[in-house]
Structure 1
Amino acid sequence: MQTGDFQFNGATLTACADAALWWAAERVLCVSDLHLGKSERIARRGGTLLPPYDTAETLSRLRDAVQRFDPAVVICLGDSFDDLAAGEALDAEARQALTVMMAGRQWIWIEGNHDPGPVDLGGVHRDEVRHGPLTFRHIAEHDAEPGEISGHWHPKARLSTPRGRVGSSCFVVTPSRVILPAFGAYTGGLSVTHDALAPWIEGETRIILTRAPQHHIPFDRISP
């Protein structure tokens, strides 16, 4: 598994190629925007049908990350479910997979804009969490203190290279905040050069692609 280590607000963090963030010193694993149940929610609302495998694939990748790091704390950084009904509609296999992963560790569900309330799956539910020098919330705040970890935007980036253009989901690392890529299988993404992300790009912003090798790329090298 390719990884990219970086220093942030006094913490050494690891950006993983599967879109997870690992804080080894505190044994904290953070993932954002799982969007479990997305295919079910789209079908329920009469949208274009998608193969109903996204929840199983996302949970399989999450299980691999949990087994790899054996975290003491797992923080799901909001939009863990595509909506509350999708969370309630999880089948027995998905619920059992989550129960096994949660066993013996603290599991924190951060509320997102898709899942504004708790579901009956165990763990604790918070609007945000402060842990040492870092604050974990779903959506970045303009007046946030340095050390903010957020998700929501599903950032993606493209880079021009001598071999052509390459792109993938990515971590956005600024002097005061980190924005995580989406972890879910069917989440899509938003270009880091999109106007919606412009307010969060500041100072010496770097991009870490989830695509290997995970180079730290200055923001001004990213293609529109």
Structure 2
Amino acid sequence: MTGYRFSLNSAGLIARPAGTLLWPDERLLVISDLHFGKSERMGRRGGALLPPYEVSDTLDRLEAEIASTAPQTVVCLGDSFDDLDAGHNLEESPRLRLTQLQAGRRWIWIEGNHDAGPIDIGGTHLAQITLGPLTFRHIAEAEAQGEISGHYHPKARAATRRGLGARPAFLIDVQRVIMPAFGTYTGGLAAGSAALRGLMSPTAKALLTGAPQVALPLSHCAPR
């Protein structure tokens, strides 16, 4: 299985180039910050009018990851919808695609700060969940152990032939993983920012998504 292999709290995990996290022994796939409906929400609230294609693009990539990993359980780590109305207003076609992805597997929606409440699109809605040695929640907690969270949309830069390019990144240390955002229209917080360094240990790594995956010491990541 393609990806960066590591262990967290005795669980063997694979951080995949697309920005998902696989727990092979449990056949469990984790995705964070899908932000479905961001363009609809911004238009509804009088913000910038964005091309309305992010839902289908995000779903295309999500379908590809599920096809590649064949999980029995999918955990979405919150902010799956850009707000509750974006979830309720989702058009019939993406609703059907989500229903098809949920068929035959356990699907868990973790509540985020954008979607702190149930959405009427199948699955189980929880504030957080602990499965074996791992706890899944939206926002990291300072004293957590074996925690997988999202919320911050970390990004980091790596030197390439074309110069310095910022990519979504996993942050990984011995206590926790902070996931990159998976949604198409999501910005990001620099991995080296004070907020993220304050959560991670001095030995933490930033693992850039994409190909090739690049692991950098978090201490080497710029704060902006």
TM-score after normalising by structure 1: 0.95
What residue number does 1:209 align with?
Answer: 208
Alpha-carbon distance in structure 1 between the residues aligned to 2:87 and 2:203: 38
What residue number does 2:43 align with?
Answer: 43
Q: CA deviation at 1:220?
A: 2.3
Task: Verify: 1:10 aligned to 2:17, yes or no.
Answer: no
CA-based RMSD of the aligned residues comes to 1.5
The amino acid across from 2:180 in the alignment is P
Q: Could you say what secondary structure the match of 2:206 adopts?
A: strand
Alpha-carbon distance in structure 1 between the residues aligned to 2:18 and 2:43: 27
What residue number does 1:190 align with?
Answer: 189
Alpha-carbon distance in structure 1 between the residues aligned to 2:150 and 2:78: 7
Decide which moves more: 210-219 or 34-43. 210-219
- The 1:200/1:48 distance shift into structure 2, 3 A limit, reads same
Alpha-carbon distance in structure 2 between the residues aligned to 1:34 and 1:214: 21
Q: CA deviation at 1:169?
A: 0.5
Alpha-carbon distance in structure 2 between the residues aligned to 1:41 and 1:161: 35
Decide which moves more: 156-165 or 64-73. 156-165
Q: How many residues align?
A: 223
* Correspondence list, 1:47-62, <5 A: 47-62=47-62
What residue number does 1:166 align with?
Answer: 165
Alpha-carbon distance in structure 2 between the residues aligned to 1:172 and 1:107: 24
Where does the alignment leave 5 or more consecutive residues of structure 2 unmatched?
none
Task: Verify: 1:108 aligned to 2:105, yes or no.
Answer: no
Identity of aligned residues (%): 52
TM-score after normalising by structure 2: 0.95
What residue number does 2:64 align with?
Answer: 64
Alpha-carbon distance in structure 1 between the residues aligned to 2:39 and 2:161: 38
- The 1:107/1:203 distance shift into structure 2, 3 A limit, reads same
Where does the alignment leave 5 or more consecutive residues of structure 1 unmatched?
none
Decide which moves more: 5-14 or 96-105. 5-14
